[in-house]
Amino acid sequence: MTIARDKLRWNGWGRLGESVGFSRVRESYLREQLGHRLGLRLAPAAMPVALESIRLPPTKLGQSTLCALRAVCGEGGVRTSAFERITHALGKSLPDLLRLRRGEIGALPEVVVYPPDENGVAAVLRIAREGQLAVVTFGGGTSVVGGVEARAAPGQSGVLVLDTTRLDALIAIDPSSATATFQAGIDGPALEAELVARGRTLGHFPQSFEHSTLGGWIATRSSGQFSNAYGGIEELVVSMRVITPEGALRTVSVPRSAAGPDLNALLVGSEGTLGVIVEATLRTSPLPLVHDERGMLFRSFPESLAAVREVVQHGIPLSLLRASDATETELAQLLRRDPGRRFDLGALALRAASRAGYGPGRSVVLYGAEEMTRKAAGQHAAGARRCLRAAGGLPLGRAPGRAWRRDRFRTPYLRDWLLDQGLAVDTLETAAPWSRVERLHSGVIRALQDAMEAHAGAGIAMGHLSHSYRDGACLYFTILFPIDPARDLLQWSEIKREATDAILGEGGTLSHHHGVGSDHSSWMPVEKGALGMRALHAMKDALDPSGMMNPGKLL
C-alpha cells in the first residue's frame, strides 16, 4: 500500500509534521494583515479535539458479515478501529475539516475493508449487497466536494468503506504503444516513480497528487496543473476495468473507436456510483528533461485573461498557464512576504513595476513549458513571452515560476493554519467559454463577497485562471471568512449555495475538476437537464440496481 494513512493528518491536509512553516514573526504579521483586510481582530480558533477523545458507537455489523469479509480480505484487511472508521468517514472539504476538528463527524462507516485484488472487490460487493450496506470507494480520500462521505441511503443498514490502496501494482507496460496499465489504488508518487524509472510520465499533477490515487482521478474526472500539455485524465485513460454490483465492466484498449457511445466517458466522472475502478491503461509521455516557468505582470485581470487567451489560441505548446486576479496577486505577495527579512527582492521589483504603471489592480500570469531539450522549452517560453508582452505584459523573470513550482503541493497546508486562526478557507471552480470568463469572474466574486458579508460579516474572495483551452478556461476561486463556531457549517452552505447559483447563472459548469460529490449534487439537474439526468439514472440502475454504490453522491 503506497498510502500510509497513519502518517497523514486525520483532521487536516497532508503529512504529519509538514506545514506552511511560518515563523512566529510571519504568523503575527499575517494575522494582523488579514485581520486588517477583513476589518476585524482575529481570535485563534478552539483547539481541534484529539482523535482518541472521539467516542464512537461500536460497529453495527454482525460477526457473520465480518467473518465473510475477513475470508476475502484477510484478518488485517477488515478494520473497525476508531482510527480507520474516522479516517474513512469524510474527505478534505472545508465542512469535512470543520466537523473533524470538532470531533462531530456525523457520517461513519461500520467497517473499512482492504480487498487484496479484483476478485476480492467483487466478493466484497456481494457481501455488502447481501447485508444491504452502502459501499463508499475510498482511494486517497482527498475529495473537497463531499465525494467520499460515509453516508447510507434510507433503508441501507450502514456504510462499508472499500479502501482501494492495496490495489497498487503496475500491471503492464506496452513500450511501443507508450501505455502503462496500473491497478487503480496506486497513488500519484508511486505511479510516477514507476514511469519516471522508464523515462516516461503520465503528466497528471492535480494539487492532491501526493495523496490521491489513479482510481480517484478517474472517478472524479480530475485535471492536473500541466493539463495544457498532457490533457485531463479523460484524455489519458485508454481503457479501464470496473467492478460493478452486476459484474465486471471493461472498456477496450484502442486509441479511438466509432463503435457507438464511448463507455470510458460514462465511467470517467462516475464518482464511485457505478462500481469500483480497479485497473486502467494510460497514455504516457516522454519524461521532460527541462522546464522553464516564468512570471509576467499585467495591469489588470481582464488584460491577463485576454493575453492568456491569445497564447492558447495561437497554439503555443505550454504546460503551465495561470493568471491571478488582483486580490489573489496581492494576497500571494502578502503570504510570501517575510517581515523579518530586510531585503525583499520581489517587493522591490513590484515597487518598480508600480512606478511603471503596473500598480493596484495588477495581475500576475505564470507560464511555462516542459520539453525534452532546453532549446525547445526556451523556444516555446519565448513564443509565449512575445505574445504576452505584445498584450501588455511586464516580464517578471523566473522567480515567480520557481516559487510556484516549489509551493505547488504545499498551498493546501495553508488552510489548516488559517483554520487555526479562526478563518475558514474554501475553494470553488468552474469553466466557461472565453466570451463569458470575465463576466463569470466578476459575477462570482461579487456573489461570494455578498454572501460572506451576509453570513460571516466579512470575507475575502479571489480567483485565478488555472486551466485554459482554445475555447475557454477554468476559473478557480478561493474565499476566506471568519468562522462563527456556533454556525460554521451553515455559514459555509449558504455561501456555497449563493456562489454556485452565480456560477451556473453566468454560464459556468458546476465543476471543472473537483467533481460533484454530495456538495454539488442538487445542482446536477441544472447542469445535465431533466432528460440528461434520466439517462444517467437509467445507466446507474442498470449497473447498480440496488443503489448501493456511493449513495447521495453525483446523481
Interactions with a copy of itself, residue window 280-319 (CB under 8 A): 283, 285, 309, 313
Q: Is the Cβ of residue 220 or residue 491 nearer to a copy of itself in the bound state?
A: 220
Question: Residue 490, class by beta-carbon neighbours within 10 Å (0-12 exposed, 13-18 middle, 19+ buried)?
Answer: exposed
In this complex, which beta carbon is closest to a copy of itself, that of residue 65 or of residue 220? Answer: 220
Give, as ranges, the residues between 428 and 447 that touch a copy of itself (CB under 8 A).
431-435
Q: How far is the CB of 478 from a copy of itself (least distance, A)?
A: 18
Residue 555 near a copy of itself by CB under 8 A = yes
**Applying CB under 8 A, which part among 82-90, 105-113, 151-159, 265-273 lies near a copy of itself?**
265-273
**246 touching a copy of itself, by CB under 8 A:** yes
**Site of grid cell 452502502:** 134
Q: Which of 251, 324, 518, 550 binds a copy of itself (CB under 8 A)?
A: 251
DSSP 315: T
Distance separating alpha carbons of residues 78 and 129, to the nearest angstrom: 17
Q: How far is the CB of 398 from a copy of itself (least distance, A)?
A: 25
Q: For a copy of itself, which residue of 27, 117, 118, 234 counts as binding (CB under 8 A)?
A: 234
Residue from 508, 518, 548, 549 binding a copy of itself (CB under 8 A): 508
Question: Which set of grid coordinates corresponds to residue 8?
Answer: 497523514
Which stretch of DSSP H or E encloses residue 180?
strand 179-183
Contacts with a copy of itself in 95-154 (CB under 8 A)? none
Query: How far is 55 from 294, CA to CA, in rounded Å?
Result: 50
Reference 273, options 2, 543, 3; nearest CA is 543
How far apart CA 524 and CA 145 sit, in angstroms, is: 13
| Cβ atoms within 10 Å of 395's Cβ, excluding its own | 12
Q: Which of residues 523-542 bind a copy of itself (CB under 8 A)?
A: 524, 527-532, 534-539, 541-542
Q: Contacts with a copy of itself in 334-363 (CB under 8 A)?
A: none
Q: Does 471 bind a copy of itself (CB under 8 A)?
A: yes
Per DSSP bridges, beta strands 285-286 and 320-324 are: unpaired
3-state secondary structure 49-111: CCHHHCCCCCCCCCHHHHHHHHHHHCHHHEECCHHHHHHCCCCCCHHHHHHHHHCCCCCCCCE
- Closest distance of CB 204 from a copy of itself, Å: 14
Applying CB under 8 A, the span of 22-30, 92-100, 338-346, 521-529 interacting with a copy of itself comes to 521-529
Which residue in 177, 354, 373, 522 binds a copy of itself (CB under 8 A)? 177
**Is-contact 336 364, C-beta < 8 A?**
no
Coil/strand/helix, residue 518: coil
Q: Which is nearer to a copy of itself, 305 or 419 (CB)?
A: 305
* Selected range binding a copy of itself among 8-16, 107-115, 181-189, 260-268, rule: CB under 8 A: 260-268
Q: Does 270 bind a copy of itself (CB under 8 A)?
A: yes
Pairs from 311-317 (Cβ < 8 Å, separation ≥ 24):
311/367, 311/384, 311/387, 311/388, 312/228, 312/468, 312/469, 312/470, 312/473, 313/470, 314/383, 314/387, 315/470, 316/380, 316/383, 316/384, 316/387, 317/229, 317/369, 317/380
Nearer to a copy of itself, 26 or 200 (CB): 200
- By CB under 8 A, tell whether 54 contacts a copy of itself: no
Q: Using the rule CB under 8 A, is 543 a contact of a copy of itself?
A: yes
In terms of CB distance, is 142 or 327 closer to a copy of itself?
142
Q: Does 470 bind a copy of itself (CB under 8 A)?
A: yes
Q: Which of 268, 331, 384, 499 binds a copy of itself (CB under 8 A)?
A: 268
Handedness of CA 50, 108, 220, 199 (dihedral sign): positive
- Total interface residues for a copy of itself by CB under 8 A: 84
Among 256, 342, 355, 406, binds a copy of itself (CB under 8 A): 256
Q: For a copy of itself, which residue of 428, 510, 548, 549 counts as binding (CB under 8 A)?
A: 510
Q: Does residue 262 touch a copy of itself according to CB under 8 A?
A: yes
Please identify, among the stretches 77-85, 154-162, 268-276, 448-456, the one whose residues bind a copy of itself according to the rule CB under 8 A: 268-276
For 259, list phi and psi in degrees, rounded to 5: -85, 65
Out of 400, 472, 482, 552, which residue is the one contacting a copy of itself (CB under 8 A)? 472
For position 178 contacting a copy of itself by CB under 8 A, the verdict is yes
Q: Rounded to the nearest whole angstrom, what is the least distance from the CB of residue 109 to a copy of itself in the complex? A: 24
Closest CB 265 distance from a copy of itself, rounded Å: 3
If binding is defined by CB under 8 A, does position 365 make contact with a copy of itself?
A: no
Closest among 311, 345, 305 to 326, alpha carbons compared: 305
Distance of CA 87 to the CA centre of its chain: 18
Q: Of 15 and 534, which has the nearer Cβ to a copy of itself?
A: 534
Contacts of 325-328 with CB under 8 Å at 24 or more apart are 325/301, 325/363, 325/441, 325/445, 325/462, 325/463, 325/464, 326/300, 326/301, 326/360, 326/361, 326/362, 326/363, 327/445, 327/460, 327/461, 327/462, 327/463, 328/462, 328/463, 328/464, 328/478
Shortest distance, position 267 Cβ to a copy of itself, whole Å: 7
